[in-house]
Structure 1
């Protein structure tokens, strides 16, 4: 059975390219456009991994990550945070909140797929 990936980003162009890329690699994909929708989608879609943007309306990626990590039922869920903010403090915050990996935009598609496979295998 293919692994399920939830893409959470408020930029339609990024969502379209990520969705195409991830589906092409054989994953089942769902999409959410903001933090609140992300939490609802996690409940209904039960993804194995979330590609989570940091800067979003309603709830930030940090808030979503924190909420998911506080839920014992979601302890196996893998989270890769994606952001245009590559400062060390931002990365440290994401990892401290429980993200499994942190990638700064722009990133190469090859690197992203490698990171997805690496995180899912861990």
Structure 2
């Protein structure tokens, strides 16, 4: 089965909570925990949706998103992105992301956004 979602998040508790919530909905989720290899992970795994933390070690979510949007492959560049941010960072995150969700968030809010983005 193809991967539905790739989550790039460096906080293990958040990553595991999101994986638990979304796998219960039937989605396949892969995890990546560092900004440095983020764009490579997206390119290799070709998920239907990327959940991307804004604040990552070695490379920010904003930089990864900029690289994704500038990709030569139009299908890759159009990959939907849900940006996770700390409260107060939503303006920066929302510039190129398809949706922004501030942490902490309600489980149902996450599920609703992902359902909307994946159709």
Q: TM-score scaled to structure 2, two decimals? A: 0.89
Q: Residue in 1 aligned with 2:91?
A: 92
Deviation, structure 1 residue 51 = 0.8
| Matching residue within 92, 100, 103 for 2:101 | 103
Deviation, structure 1 residue 28 = 1.1
Structure 2 gaps of 5+ residues are none
CA distance in structure 2 between the partners assigned to 1:120 and 1:45 by the alignment? 16
Q: Residue in 1 aligned with 2:64?
A: 64
Backbone CA RMSD of aligned residues: 1.5
Structure 1 gaps of 5+ residues are none
Deviation, structure 1 residue 3 = 5.8
Q: Residue in 2 aligned with 1:115?
A: 113
Q: Residue in 2 aligned with 1:30?
A: 30
Q: Residue in 1 aligned with 2:21?
A: 21
Task: Give SS of 2:36's match.
Answer: helix
CA distance in structure 2 between the partners assigned to 1:59 and 1:21 by the alignment? 26
Deviation, structure 1 residue 43 = 1.7
CA distance in structure 1 between the partners assigned to 2:83 and 2:18 by the alignment? 13
| Matching residue within 76, 80, 83 for 2:82 | 80
Equivalent residues of 2:85, 2:93 under 8 A apart: no
Q: TM-score scaled to structure 1, two decimals? A: 0.87
Deviation, structure 1 residue 46 = 0.6
Equivalent residues of 1:2, 1:27 under 8 A apart: no
